[in-house]
């Protein structure tokens, strides 16, 4: 057993209102530089929709993630030799047009234009070339366009549905959507790490955060094409790839990552998971539908004395083990089993989990008011949002996984409803618990964690051994009371 700690996240999709505050917090902090304007380390997509970059989920187009070849796991974009062979031109690299060309407006024209008969206008110009351009796409171009035949209908997950399911999805007045915020998944079997010819990308042992060493990066761009979530980005002005760093400088100072901190809907939970790194390769080889469950198997109980013993022997700090015991991520993923990884079939073993949205599945149109369907459990089968679609997103196509989560979420609601509305018999509540497989306390705990907790309970940042983190780059004595981290050179090419 090789126990490692991972700072892991859970996003509760029922609570996401799609306000993009997370994206803006991240943008202001990390990607407001030239060459990074188009990058959204955190973005919020409308589902069904094509997303950012367009149709990123379609790996026949982008060739990200892993595939099984016999008994081996291989990067979908090709093996090592083939990767080296592509360094002069990477055929799988998305171009700026797959994302969008960043733009601004010539505001100066508004005041500098000579007097005339019509109003001066600020023309859109490209932030790359500075030349006038036609704006044709943006980072959230299909925001809230759930019924769109251009965007939603081309969602790679929608295309896989049957004709009937698609009609169900696009029925007038029954249109449905939910928001999907995405950051780097800090995968345990990361494809970006595996594809880097320079070996510049690495996973931090202490907390599992995946980072790109900017001095080692030679800009081969293999990580951009191999990441199935398209969460590594090529900085065209610096010639370096960059990605979400899970705000590790903030975490080392004990603060929540900016997107977590700013989340209006309080949908984001963060905590340490302990997992057995020896199992990574075996699990990544499982069948598509088994991957989500197998990944839960990999995650270990931080209260189990044997796990604690093995963790100590593996060199994990005591504070990390304590943080793992207080971790809301552990509760969501393992204890309650209501959070699933996004697209586990990409086989990168992502460490960001989602509580699938319940409301768009169950609510039905009823004289203009939204109402949870009366018969909770049978209604899952006639859900407004086809379960097949959700299973395609969160369980590698395994509907049973998604159903199990929904049964639990529904049971939480039934138990709360019995308490607050008092229109349900004890028998009904008992039946709901039975079907969900969770006891009354667990259901209450889910309700509490979902709606009542404050930031310190939702976001349990482990003590990140900052003194050790600094030590790797500089003398801690000189660093006392200092600010910032590691390299303090501006990310700029001077040659």
Partner 1 sequence: MADMILFGVFPYVALSLAIGVGIYRYTIDRYSYSSQSSQFLESKALFWGSLPWHYAILLILLAHFLAFLVPASWGTLLGSPARLVFLEVTGMALGITTMIALVILIFRRIINPRVNAVTSRIDWLLLATLLLQVTTGVYIAISLRWGGVWYVHTVSPWLWSLVKLNPQINYLANLPWIVQLHAVNAFFLVAIFPFSRLVHVVSIPISYLGRPYQIVVWYRQRRSS
Q: Which of 248, 246, 233 is nearest to 39 (CA)?
A: 233
**Interface with partner 1: number of residues (CB under 8 A):** 64
Residue in 40, 56, 62, 234 binding partner 1, rule: CB under 8 A: 234
User: How far apart are the C-alpha atoms of 459 and 180, rounded to whole Å?
Assistant: 19
User: How far apart are the C-alpha atoms of 138 and 33, rounded to whole Å?
Assistant: 17
| Closest distance of CB 317 from partner 1, Å | 11
Residue in 128, 137, 359, 445 binding partner 1, rule: CB under 8 A: 128
| Closest distance of CB 240 from partner 1, Å | 8
Instruction: For the segment 469-488, give every residue that binds partner 1 (CB under 8 A).
Output: 469, 471-472
Per-residue mark of binding to partner 1, 286-325 (x: CB under 8 A): ---------------------------xxx----------
User: How far apart are the C-alpha atoms of 327 and 323, rounded to whole Å?
Assistant: 6
| Phi and psi, residue 485, nearest 5° | -155, 150
> What is the distance, to the nearest Å, from the Cα of residue 436 to the centroid of all Cα atoms in its chain?
26
| Closest distance of CB 133 from partner 1, Å | 9
User: How far apart are the C-alpha atoms of 61 and 299, rounded to whole Å?
Assistant: 32
Which residues, listed in sequence order, are joined to residue 132 by a DSSP beta bridge? 125
| Closest distance of CB 241 from partner 1, Å | 10
Residue in 29, 120, 126, 377 binding partner 1, rule: CB under 8 A: 126
| Closest distance of CB 194 from partner 1, Å | 4
| Closest distance of CB 25 from partner 1, Å | 25
**How far separated are the first and last CA of the chain, in Å rounded?**
47
Tokens of 493: 């090419």
Does 199 interact with partner 1 (rule: CB under 8 A)? yes
Q: Which stretch binds partner 1 (CB under 8 A): 77-85, 145-153, 359-367, 370-378?
A: 77-85
Could you give the angle at the alpha carbon of 376 between the alpha carbons of 371 and 381, nearest 5°?
105
| Closest distance of CB 53 from partner 1, Å | 11
Residue in 12, 20, 27, 204 binding partner 1, rule: CB under 8 A: 204
142 or 252: CB nearest partner 1: 252
83 or 450: CB nearest partner 1: 83
Does 232 interact with partner 1 (rule: CB under 8 A)? no
DSSP code string of 129-175: T-SB------TTTTTT-TT-TTTGGG-HHHHTS-HHHHHHHH-TT--
> What is the distance, to the nearest Å, from the Cα of residue 154 to the centroid of all Cα atoms in its chain?
21
- 338 within 8 A of 438, measured Cβ to Cβ: no
What stretch of H or E contains 235? Answer: strand 232-235
448 or 492: CB nearest partner 1: 492
Instruction: For the segment 81-110, give every residue that binds partner 1 (CB under 8 A).
Output: 81, 83-84, 87-91, 93-96, 101
What stretch of H or E contains 273? Answer: strand 268-276
84 or 159: CB nearest partner 1: 84
DSSP code string of 365-377: EETTEEEE-SSHH
Residue in 154, 165, 214, 453 binding partner 1, rule: CB under 8 A: 214
Tokens of 219: 């800009």
Does 489 interact with partner 1 (rule: CB under 8 A)? yes
Within a 10 A sphere around the Cβ of 109, how many other Cβ atoms?
13
The residues that touch partner 1, with contacts defined as CB under 8 A, are: 2, 4, 80-81, 83-84, 87-91, 93-96, 101, 126, 128-131, 189-190, 193-194, 196-199, 201-206, 214-221, 224, 234, 236-240, 280, 313-315, 465, 468-469, 471-472, 489, 491, 493-495
């Amino acid at each position: 057993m090789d126990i490692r700690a991972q700072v892991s996240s859970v996003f509760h999709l029922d609570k996401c209102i799609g306000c993009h505050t997370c994206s803006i917090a991240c943008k202001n902090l990390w990607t407001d530089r030239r060459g990074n304007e188009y990058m959204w380390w955190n973005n919020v997509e409308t589902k069904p929709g094509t997303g950012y970059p367009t149709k990123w989920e379609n790996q026949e187009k982008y060739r990200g993630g892993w595939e099984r070849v016999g008994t081996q796991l291989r990067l979908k974009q090709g093996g090592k030799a083939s990767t080296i062979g592509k360094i002069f031109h990477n055929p799988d690299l998305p171009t700026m047009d797959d994302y969008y060309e960043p733009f601004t407006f010539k505001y100066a024209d508004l005041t500098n234009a000579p007097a005339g008969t019509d109003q001066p206008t600020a023309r859109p110009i490209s932030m790359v070339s500075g030349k006038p351009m036609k704006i044709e796409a943006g980072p959230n171009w299909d925001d809230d366009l759930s019924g769109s035949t251009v965007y939603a209908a081309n969602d790679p997950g929608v295309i896989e549905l049957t004709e009937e399911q698609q009609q169900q999805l696009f029925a007038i007045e029954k249109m449905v959507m939910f928001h999907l915020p995405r950051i780097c998944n800090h995968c345990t079997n990361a494809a970006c790490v595996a594809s880097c010819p320079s070996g510049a990308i690495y996973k931090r042992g202490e907390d599992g955060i995946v980072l790109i060493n900017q001095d080692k990066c030679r800009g081969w761009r293999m990580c951009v094409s191999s990441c199935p979530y398209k969460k590594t980005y090529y900085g065209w002005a610096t010639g370096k790839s960059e990605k979400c760093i899970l705000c590790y400088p903030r975490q080392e100072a004990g603060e929540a990552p900016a997107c977590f901190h700013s989340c209006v809907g309080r949908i984001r939970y963060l905590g340490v998971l302990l997992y057995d790194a020896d199992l990574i390769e075996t699990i990544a080889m499982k069948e598509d539908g088994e991957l989500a469950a197998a990944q839960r198997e990999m995650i270990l109980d931080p209260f189990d004395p044997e796990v604690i013993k093995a963790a100590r022997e593996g060199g994990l700090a005591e504070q990390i083990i304590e943080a793992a015991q207080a971790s809301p991520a552990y509760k969501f993923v393992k204890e309650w089993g209501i959070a699933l990884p996004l697209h586990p079939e990409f086989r990168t073993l992502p460490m960001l989990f989602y509580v699938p949205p319940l409301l768009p599945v169950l609510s039905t149109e009823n004289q203009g008011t939204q109402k949870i369907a009366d018969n909770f459990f049978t209604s899952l089968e006639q859900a407004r949002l086809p379960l097949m679609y959700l299973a395609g997103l969160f369980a590698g196509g395994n509907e049973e996984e998604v159903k199990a989560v929904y049964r639990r979420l529904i049971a939480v609601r039934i138990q709360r409803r019995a308490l607050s509305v008092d229109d349900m018999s004890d028998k009904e509540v008992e039946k709901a618990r039975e079907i969900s497989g969770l006891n009354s306390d667990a259901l209450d705990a889910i309700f509490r964690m979902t709606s009542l907790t404050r930031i310190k309970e939702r976001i349990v940042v482990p003590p990140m051994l900052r003194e050790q983190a600094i030590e790797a780059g500089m003398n801690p004595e000189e660093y006392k009371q200092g600010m910032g981290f590691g390299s303090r050179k501006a990310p700029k090419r001077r040659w």
